[in-house]
Chain A
Amino acid sequence: MPDIATDQLGKLLLDQGLINHRQLKRMNDFEQSSGLSLIKIALNFGYISRKRYKQFLEGYGYFFHNIRQETVDQLVMIKNDLKEVDRNLILPLRIEDNRLVVAVANPYALSDIGSVSQNWGMETEVIVCSDLDMLWLAHKLLGGEYVKSAVFDLLNRDPDSSALVTFTPNQLIVLFSVCALVAIALFLNFINTTIIINILMSTFFLVAIVFKLYLALTGSKLELFQAVSKKELKQMNTKELPVFTIQLPVYKEDKLIRKLIWNLQSLDYPREKLDIKLLIEEDDDKTLNAVRDLDFPAIFEVVVVPFHMPKTKPKACNYGLHFSRGEYLTIYDAEDVPDQDQLKKVVLLFNKLPSNFICIQCALNYFNRNENFLTKMFTLEYSYWFDYMLPGLGTLDIPIPLGGTSNHFKMEKLIELGGWDPFNVTEDADLGIRAFAKGYKVALVNSTTYEEANNEPFNWIRQRSRWIKGYMQTYLVHMRNPAELIRKIGWKGFWGFNFFIGATPLTFLVYPILLVLFLCYIILDLKNIKTIFPDWVLYISTFNLVVGNILMIYVNMIAVFKRRFYELILFAIVNPVYWLMHSISAYKGLWQLVTKPFYWEKTNHGLSKVSAQQGKKTEQ
């Protein structure tokens, strides 16, 4: 039963018309079932906006203190339990004049305040503050243990899977030995060595692309397959749905907060069963203030991630895990627009699949695909990647590198795996391989999350360089002991991993070299090149490059069919140009892999002038 003081807040809110009876009843029920305080529920589950709440309290004569500037007694602070503070929004700050100064978000929570007083054995002096400031302070001062766990847990448990060490000594020995051998071979027989390198590079390029085509064709067989049907969705018992955690790691995404709430509100899942965590970095006041200034109710809880290097998304997500309540967990980016029934489909599919399926990946696509050349190319790329390649990998039982968002996990298994690697900048791809190596499987579901395609070239290169660097990191991590990897994932998985994860950055690195050779030979008709490479070498090399490009264009063309983006098909022809941008990113990624491997190249979102609603409407 709610205590009388809590009831008082409810009554006051009711009197002021801020909530209605039905809402109050739902809040009270949820309070009982979840153990969260009423104010936490009111402010984080869509009942009342922070702005209105502040006005409401100020109307009753309360003054909001900025507790981030209040004096804090460390001895008092360490006695607090962060999770309890997070639940009750009551934070003892210091002892002053033999009285405990307690920051509260709800001054009417007399029972809880009384308990604190009783626990400390002294009277309390209550100061009212914003729940966001309280959380910021609490996480900053009390989150040290959790953030350390977020950073070092995987490293301590399974150091071989951590990307903290970029190159192991053995890898360096192999790398430098190969370089030395090539140098010696060049010195001894320059022409034959360059011929071998040329043939190897171009053949590798072709084989890697043929493999992609094979994957795409294998995946396209599943085009009509519906992992979860509409009928199954209709028959679903919504009362027994589990709690679903949604993590939203953001950094300086203040412009997207409104859109985010809009998108989350459209999810078809009971609000009380949603555990949405907005993970904000400690130094990200912009986003925190954007949440504070919302003039409509938020439907997420804020978790402030204390500062700790590396400042990466996986670290934030690992940190958020400590405060998550769900049976299942997923991650969305701030600009994501998931299909409304996505979470229900995921739950249904998890129930249908064997227990070793621990993750379900949804397709990603873009709502602003027709904005410019880049967004069109990006849409083609994502379409073949998520609609064809990943189903192809799944069919062939090859490890699936998870996409950046909309991967839904069984929480328990995710924790068992050690969460995400905070030192890996494509932590999702890495986690997919790690799960596969432990005998777990990833499934794909017929549901899409629409994102914002990068529409600005430099921003695109930043994002892509991080992805490619991440693939390099992932490859290096899992290839530390190839024999062990084969033992874990089998030969098929091993070759699939090499050609999908390893070959992707390498093809982008090799591409401009082959292209320059081709241009020198065909267009510029440089005679000198023929003195190094005889005709047959150039024949094979040209053939591989040209056929490779044609096949890649073809894979892009296939991509339009499933989603009926027929108008994009001609853009597939300019894929070689798009690949040059990949090459630039690949070289940037390679450079960063050596100089700053854990650096997270931030992608700016919210640049698109197309809204998700407009995008979806166009699609319809």
Chain B
Amino acid sequence: MKTLIQSKYRLYPISFLLFGYYLTLAYLLFYKGIYSNEGLFFAEKSILFRGGNVDKITLVGLTFPQLSFLSTWLFSIFDIAFAPYITSAAGTSVLFFVIANSIETHQHRHWLFAGIIMTFLFHPAFLFIAVSGKSDYMTLIFFYLFISAFYKYFKYNTSYHISVASIYFTMLVFSNFKFIWLALFILPVIFIAALQSMQIAKTDPLERIAFAFNSLSIRRKLTNKTIAVYLIVFALPLTGVFVFRLLNQVYTGDPNYFLDSPYANYLAIVNQTENFNSFNPVEHTFFFPEMSFLTTVRILLYAPMILLCLSIFKSNMRNTFIVFAMFLFMEFLKIKYPDVFLQVGFYAAFICMCWGIILNARHLENLRFTGQFYLAVTFLQLISGYLMMKNSNIPEERNYVAQFAKMVSQPNAIVADEDKLFAEKIAQIPEMDKILTDDATSYRIIALSRSAKQFLVPSQKTFLAALEVPKKHVEYILIPSDANPGRYFSLLNSGVLERLTRNGLDLKKAFSNKNWVLYSLNGRTPSDRHHSQP
């Protein structure tokens, strides 16, 4: 172990092997028909960019989370549908590298490294993030870098660390917009840090505050410093969001397009369907309920290590406050979005934060626990992580854990996604036969069929004309079925179908599954067409 981690150059092969491990798992799951919504959403956008006759600037510029999409897009040169999964595998390996590399000079790096590699190899949350094609890896990378930079700023008080913290925070926001709310909870921490940095001959925090507020020069200095740090930390992310909203406004007429439009952000619908409390039938025995004011307990179950880490900062108020800020942030999310379940990435962030805390502990003698104890807690985290993921409120997470377990124990029992078969059938339709569909909900089908050429989607100019007079423009119409949770969010639904039928359009059901129905306009099924071809 010692020799393995002595040089950061030895981390490259380890990270690469980890990438291979993730990629193999991702490949096995993907080709057995286990998908995530986000992965398929990104894949569909890449497919539209490559083959669809759409406004590419809006597509590339406004698809959100922006950074994750752009990195997925880069990997699409290998396999356009599988690209998000390659990206998440690579990204999680990078996350491992970043964390493992940062502990290189740590006094207890050997056992820290053992815990890290154990987590990245076996923790269900990290495995899920690595193989699901989701963008949580990027959130975690920037979150870890942000937290580490912030702690380093507290430790060294240099503008370098506070500046890079700000840059990482901006990246974090553009990886997961909800983190913008974290700013609210960091405000008091910055104030406390500024107060602690003032040269006041008082030790008690309250006395320091009282003294600072009653002395004109110290009050002025404190105000100036606090505002300066606020600006340096928040100016970039806030102006970044402002500019991005401005671009959204200019190009779509809606400043919140990147958040609210299902064409730009898959969460716009998923957070109102699968991840939505009232939408989700309570049929599982949840490990622990996710609700306001109890989220903290849930976090502690996910990452019990955090309790140990808090003891490191026992006498360091500002560092402890950062941890509390994160807890408050999570509680806030639960209050602001009471019915939307928190995805596993948020919980995994706390595990990453533990390493950040240990790494930046001012006095190493404060590490009051042994390596064996740390490893035992890490092992405990694996178990609690598995139990939490297995009973997750989010169907996608549950499904991945279940299918993964099947893959290990009984590979033949894996249940492939229903849309896989449907998409395969669609892929057999010749490209010249156009299909009218709304990719707000049908992005999974487009992604799995791997071609955008035959789809006519709302971002194409002829979509509205095709909606009015389908026969002139398309041969098929793809409509969500009544069982599809996204049916209310599609421009093409049973209401439209009814109108078209009323207008005398002869629609014949070509094929269907639980979620989708493909109607043929010319009375032929794809197989007829297929057979009629020379």
Instruction: Report whether A561 and B57 are in contact in the complex, using a CB–CB cutoff of 8 Å.
Output: no
Instruction: Report whether A561 and B228 are in contact in the complex, using a CB–CB cutoff of 8 Å.
Output: yes
Partner of A550, one of B158, B164, B240: B240
Instruction: Report whether A557 and B232 are in contact in the complex, using a CB–CB cutoff of 8 Å.
Output: yes
Instruction: Report whether A220 and B160 are in contact in the complex, using a CB–CB cutoff of 8 Å.
Output: yes
Q: Does B256 contact A (CB under 8 A)?
A: no
Partner of B158, one of A220, A543, A570: A220
Q: Does A569 contact B (CB under 8 A)?
A: yes
Residues of chain A within 8 A (CB-CB) of B228 are 557, 560-561, 566, 569
Residues of chain B within 8 A (CB-CB) of A217 are 160, 163-164
Instruction: Report whether B57 and A539 are in contact in the complex, using a CB–CB cutoff of 8 Å.
Output: yes
Q: How far is the CB of B232 from chain A (nearest CB, A)?
A: 5
Instruction: Report whether B251 and A539 are in contact in the complex, using a CB–CB cutoff of 8 Å.
Output: yes
Instruction: Report whether A223 and B232 are in contact in the complex, using a CB–CB cutoff of 8 Å.
Output: no
Instruction: Report whether B250 and A522 are in contact in the complex, using a CB–CB cutoff of 8 Å.
Output: yes
Instruction: Report whether B227 and A569 are in contact in the complex, using a CB–CB cutoff of 8 Å.
Output: yes
Q: Does B231 contact A (CB under 8 A)?
A: yes
Instruction: Give CA–CA (A539, B56) in the complex, Å.
Output: 12
Instruction: Give CA–CA (A220, B250) in the complex, Å.
Output: 36
Instruction: Report whether A557 and B235 are in contact in the complex, using a CB–CB cutoff of 8 Å.
Output: yes
Within 8 A of B (CB), among A521-548: 522, 535-536, 539, 542-543, 546-547
Q: Does A562 contact B (CB under 8 A)?
A: yes
Residues of chain A within 8 A (CB-CB) of B225 are 564, 566
Instruction: Give CA–CA (A561, B228) in the complex, Å.
Output: 8
Instruction: Give CA–CA (A554, B228) in the complex, Å.
Output: 11
Q: Does A567 contact B (CB under 8 A)?
A: yes
**15 other contacts beyond A221-B160, A535-B57, A561-B159, with CB at 8 A cut-off?**
A216-B163, A221-B158, A224-B156, A522-B250, A539-B61, A542-B250, A543-B247, A546-B243, A554-B235, A557-B231, A557-B232, A558-B159, A561-B158, A564-B225, A566-B228
Within 8 A of B (CB), among A485-509: none
A–B complex contacts, Cβ < 8 Å, 7 sampled: A536-B56, A539-B57, A543-B243, A543-B247, A550-B236, A550-B239, A557-B228
The verdict on A558 contacting B243 (CB below 8 Å), with A566-B227, A569-B231 known, is no
Chain A residues within 8 Å of B, Cβ to Cβ: 216-217, 220-221, 223-224, 522, 535-536, 539, 542-543, 546-547, 550, 553-554, 557-558, 560-562, 564, 566-567, 569-570, 572
Q: Does B212 contact A (CB under 8 A)?
A: no
The verdict on A567 contacting B243 (CB below 8 Å), with A224-B156, A224-B158 known, is no
Instruction: Report whether B57 and A536 are in contact in the complex, using a CB–CB cutoff of 8 Å.
Output: yes
Instruction: Give CA–CA (A542, B251) in the complex, Å.
Output: 12
Q: Does B162 contact A (CB under 8 A)?
A: yes
Instruction: Give CA–CA (A564, B228) in the complex, Å.
Output: 9
Residues of chain A within 8 A (CB-CB) of B311 are none
The 9 A-B pairs at the shortest CB distance, nearest first, are namely A561-B159, A566-B224, A220-B160, A566-B228, A569-B228, A536-B57, A223-B158, A221-B160, A220-B159
Within 8 A of A (CB), among B213-235: 221, 224-225, 227-228, 231-232, 235
Closest to A218 in B: B160
Residues of chain A within 8 A (CB-CB) of B246 are 546
Instruction: Give CA–CA (A221, B163) in the complex, Å.
Output: 10
Instruction: Give CA–CA (A546, B160) in the complex, Å.
Output: 23
Per-residue CB contact flags for chain B residues 153-171 toward chain A (1 = under 8 Å, else 0) read: 0001011101110100000
Residues of chain B within 8 A (CB-CB) of A560 are 228
Chain B residues within 8 Å of A, Cβ to Cβ: 56-57, 61, 156, 158-160, 162-164, 166, 221, 224-225, 227-228, 231-232, 235-236, 239-240, 243, 246-247, 250-251
Residues of chain B within 8 A (CB-CB) of A543 are 243, 247
Closest to A537 in B: B57
The verdict on A567 contacting B224 (CB below 8 Å), with A217-B160, A217-B163, A539-B247 known, is yes
Instruction: Give CA–CA (A424, B498) in the complex, Å.
Output: 80
Instruction: Give CA–CA (A221, B160) in the complex, Å.
Output: 5
Partner of A562, one of B156, B159, B224, B236: B159
Q: How far is the CB of B67 from chain A (nearest CB, A)?
A: 14
Closest to B56 in A: A536
Closest to A221 in B: B160
Closest to A555 in B: B163
Instruction: Report whether B164 and A554 are in contact in the complex, using a CB–CB cutoff of 8 Å.
Output: no
Instruction: Report whether A554 and B227 are in contact in the complex, using a CB–CB cutoff of 8 Å.
Output: no
Instruction: Give CA–CA (A522, B158) in the complex, Å.
Output: 38
Instruction: Report whether B231 and A550 are in contact in the complex, using a CB–CB cutoff of 8 Å.
Output: no
Residues of chain B within 8 A (CB-CB) of A553 are 235
Instruction: Give CA–CA (A217, B167) in the complex, Å.
Output: 11
Instruction: Report whether B224 and A547 are in contact in the complex, using a CB–CB cutoff of 8 Å.
Output: no
Residue with the greatest number of chain B CB neighbours at <10 A, chosen from A216, A522, A546, A569:
A569
Closest to A557 in B: B232
Q: How far is the CB of B161 from chain A (nearest CB, A)?
A: 9
Instruction: Give CA–CA (A238, B532) in the complex, Å.
Output: 101
Q: How far is the CB of B165 from chain A (nearest CB, A)?
A: 12
Q: How far is the CB of A221 from chain B (nearest CB, A)?
A: 5
Instruction: Give CA–CA (A220, B159) in the complex, Å.
Output: 6
Closest to B226 in A: A566
Q: How far is the CB of B512 from chain A (nearest CB, A)?
A: 39
Instruction: Report whether B162 and A561 are in contact in the complex, using a CB–CB cutoff of 8 Å.
Output: yes
Q: How far is the CB of A218 from chain B (nearest CB, A)?
A: 9
Partner of A569, one of B232, B236, B239: B232
Instruction: Give CA–CA (A291, B235) in the complex, Å.
Output: 51
Residue with the greatest number of chain B CB neighbours at <10 A, chosen from A522, A554, A562, A570:
A554
Instruction: Give CA–CA (A550, B242) in the complex, Å.
Output: 11
Instruction: Give CA–CA (A543, B232) in the complex, Å.
Output: 21
Residues of chain A within 8 A (CB-CB) of B235 are 550, 553-554, 557
Closest to B61 in A: A539
Residues of chain B within 8 A (CB-CB) of A566 are 221, 224-225, 227-228
Instruction: Give CA–CA (A553, B236) in the complex, Å.
Output: 9
Closest to A572 in B: B231
Closest to A546 in B: B243
Residue with the greatest number of chain B CB neighbours at <10 A, chosen from A220, A536, A542, A561:
A561
Residues of chain B within 8 A (CB-CB) of A535 are 57, 251
Closest to B163 in A: A558
Residues of chain A within 8 A (CB-CB) of B61 are 539
Instruction: Give CA–CA (A247, B329) in the complex, Å.
Output: 60
Instruction: Give CA–CA (A270, B495) in the complex, Å.
Output: 95
Q: How far is the CB of A553 from chain B (nearest CB, A)?
A: 7
Q: How far is the CB of B489 from chain A (nearest CB, A)?
A: 27
Instruction: Give CA–CA (A550, B235) in the complex, Å.
Output: 9
Residues of chain A within 8 A (CB-CB) of B159 are 220, 223, 558, 561-562
Q: How far is the CB of B253 from chain A (nearest CB, A)?
A: 13
Residues of chain A within 8 A (CB-CB) of B239 are 550
Instruction: Give CA–CA (A522, B246) in the complex, Å.
Output: 10
Q: How far is the CB of A408 from chain B (nearest CB, A)?
A: 26
Instruction: Give CA–CA (A223, B162) in the complex, Å.
Output: 12
Instruction: Give CA–CA (A535, B250) in the complex, Å.
Output: 10
Instruction: Give CA–CA (A446, B231) in the complex, Å.
Output: 27
